[in-house]
Amino acid sequence: MIDLIEVTKSYGKGLPALNKATVHIDKGEFVFVVGSSGSGKTTLIRLLLKELDPTSGSIVVGGERLEGMKRSRVAKYRRRLGVVFQDFRLLKDRNVYENVAFAQRVIGRPTRVIKRRVPEVLQEVGLADKYRSFPDELSGGEQQRVALARALVNRPDILLADEPTGNLDPRTSEEIMGLLEQINQRGTTVLVVTHNKDIVNAMRKRVVTMNEGVIVSDEKEGEYHEA
């Protein structure tokens, strides 16, 4: 599903942010990406989203080679990915329903489809009863659930999460990670960047560890290593 072959990304002088990274992720996998601050995790996510292009190396996602992809194709490609961030990035002046529906409107889904799909995905993330609330009226964990619903509403093949529990307390973090696990069990390939050592060690998933742009370990049922 995701193939990086010797991918290097340099922003300028100095060490590259990503240095000859090679990794293969199969459809349906759940992968944690860990590593100290500045080790290149967000750079990896942005390369997968094609917000950045590698300096060298190649990336193939879901059979599509990202290099040289036409701009018109990039928008379609991105629909295959759902993404969530530490800071939720919800529209503050729209309620929960509208935040999720928006992702369907921009790709031209008809209202009748939206009306069916949005409640369904809100149910999946456990927020069915909050659809009229505004982001400011929700807890951090609830806001992240909305962000997850928005990421999932168009049924992506891959969910990318960049420190999704970075702003949440330990218990809420566990709930969100549990939800990511459920989403994965329903067939979505999930890649989670995290600093949450306890959760990584408890969940026993594949763990890719980065240090200064280099993938220094990649373990099945791995543990959190301080690089």
Ligand X SMILES: Nc1ncnc2c1ncn2[C@@H]1O[C@H](COP(=O)(O)OP(=O)(O)OP(=O)(O)O)[C@@H](O)[C@H]1O
d(CA 17, CA 93): 36
- The piece of 19-27, 37-45, 103-111, 113-121 that touches ligand X (CB under 6 A) is 37-45
Residue in 19, 39, 42, 144 binding Mg ion, rule: CB under 5 A: 42
d(CA 78, CA 151): 11
- The piece of 40-48, 109-117, 169-177, 197-205 that touches Mg ion (CB under 5 A) is 40-48
Partner that binds at residue 38, options ligand X, Mg ion, none, CB closer than 5 to 8 Å by kind:
ligand X
Binding residues for ligand X restricted to 115-154, rule: CB under 6 A: none
Q: How far is the CB of 101 from ligand X (least distance, A)?
A: 30
Partner that binds at residue 54, options Mg ion, ligand X, none, CB closer than 5 to 8 Å by kind:
none
Give phi and psi for 94, each to the nearest 5: -125, 150
Binding residues for ligand X restricted to 14-33, rule: CB under 6 A: 17
- Residue 225: CB atoms within 10 A of its CB come to 15
- The piece of 14-22, 26-34, 37-45, 73-81 that touches Mg ion (CB under 5 A) is 37-45
Q: How far is the CB of 41 from ligand X (least distance, A)?
A: 4
Whether 190 and 180 have beta carbons less than 8 Å apart is answered as yes
| Closest residue to Mg ion, based on beta-carbon distance | 42
Positions touching ligand X (CB under 6 A) are 11, 17, 35, 37-43
Positions touching Mg ion (CB under 5 A) are 42
